[in-house]
Amino acid sequence: MALLFLSDSDDPVAWNAALAKRVPGLDMRVWPETGAAADIDAALVWNHPPGVLKAFPKLRAILSLGAGVNHVLDDPEIPADIPIARIVDPGLATGMAEYAALAVLRYHRNFDVYERQQREQRWRRLPIPVTTARRVGVLGLGEIGSACARMIAGLGFPVTGWSRTAKSLPGVACYAGPDGLAPFLNTTDILVCVLPLTAATRGIINQTTLAKLPRSAFLINIARGAHVVDQDLIAALDSGQLAGATLDVFAHEPLPREHPFWSHPKVTLTPHIASITNPETAADGVAENLRRLHDGRPLLYLADRARGY
């Protein structure tokens, strides 16, 4: 079985070592040194150049190196009948939840204000807010959203969640569907976006939805940049509707140098590091899918092309 490895950011040496332990005899080829195109059975990819996968006539599976598959589905030239699987990795979900919890606590305990005060050499103590009065809303309740909701609820915050279809999560008040979105937003002081990017969720954080949050709410986006209408977010920050935004993902990455987010005083940004797939924790699932492919069994963690995730 030959596996093509193609990523703009993951380490092929670490992946080869992690997979070789689990799939003896695996022949991993790193793009662009692929050898004969007809040898390749499966591709393990992150941000592949559109169109390149159609060059492999025997390709039978596309495995995403991340939890999201929108980077695969965005390629109009991927063959229609090939299964696409995402990574399900407890380490990835924990990393996302840690990032979300850290950003929630930072706003909750006014560290954004203290960072500004330090720059101004200003000594001013703010009251410590009540944890049980700070309502955190998690948009998206899949594996990762549920991990975020559980970790933040574990810190003592009241947590609600919103998802496309109804979900139930112990200790989390769940809202669903278009009708559930406004009541969810109306009671969210800190909004954490962990949605998959689909046609239905693109631009979901916009002037209308931001206006439904209580005044001076916060946004934490660790899903995809295209969930946010950038100019609407900036307008909400400038008007005071939002008190701050922590952004790990952007419509164009790396974020262009001229983008106003870089210098906006109410924006904290990080370079898409909320979680990074670690071969040591993620290789089990990929190895299992390679074994399944080899044995002709159905793959795990399949994305639904029509749903978009």
- Residues found near ligand OXD in the complex (CB under 6 A): 66-68, 92, 275, 277
Strands (E), the chain: 2-7, 27-30, 40-46, 61-64, 84-85, 136-139, 159-163, 172-176, 190-193, 217-221, 242-247, 267-269
The least distance separating ligand OXD from the CB of residue 277, rounded to whole angstroms, comes to: 6
Reported in sequence order, the residue ranges of 65-193 that DSSP labels E, i.e. its strands, are: 84-85, 136-139, 159-163, 172-176, 190-193
- In what side-by-side order are the strands of the sheet with 172-176? 172-176, 159-163, 136-139, 190-193, 217-221, 242-247, 267-269
Assign residue 121 a region (left: φ > 0; alpha: ψ between -120 and 50; beta: otherwise): left
Choice among 48, 86, 224, 227 that is catalytic: 224
Q: Tell me which amino acid residue 88 is.
A: V
H helices of 109-142, in order, are 111-119
Choose between 167 and 272: whose C-beta lies nearer to ligand OXD: 272
* Minimum separation from the CB atom of position 195 to ligand OXD (A): 12
Q: How far is the CB of 149 from ligand OXD (least distance, A)?
A: 18
Q: Which residue is nearest to ligand OXD (CB)?
A: 66
Nearer to ligand OXD, 68 or 244 (CB): 68
Active site residue 116: no
- Looking at the Cβ atoms of 137 and 196, the one nearer to ligand OXD is 196
Closest distance of CB 279 from ligand OXD, Å: 13
Minimum CB separation of residue 275 from ligand OXD in Å reads: 6
- Site of tokens 């079985």: 1
Is the Cβ of residue 99 or residue 175 nearer to ligand OXD in the bound state? Answer: 99
CB of 289 to ligand OXD, least distance (A): 16
Question: Nearer to ligand OXD by C-beta: 10 or 41?
Answer: 10
Number of Cβ within a 10 Å radius of residue 186: 12
Tokens of 153: 């609820």
Pick between residue 73 and residue 237 the one whose CB is nearest to ligand OXD: 73
Residue 154 near residue 182 (C-beta atoms within 8 A): no
Question: Strand order in 27-30's β-sheet?
Answer: 27-30, 2-7, 40-46, 61-64, 84-85
Q: Give the active site residue among 135, 272, 291, 294.
A: 272
Q: Strand ranges (DSSP E) for 76-150?
A: 84-85, 136-139
Active site residue 272: yes
Q: Which amino acid is at 250?
A: F
Catalogue the active-site residues: 224, 272
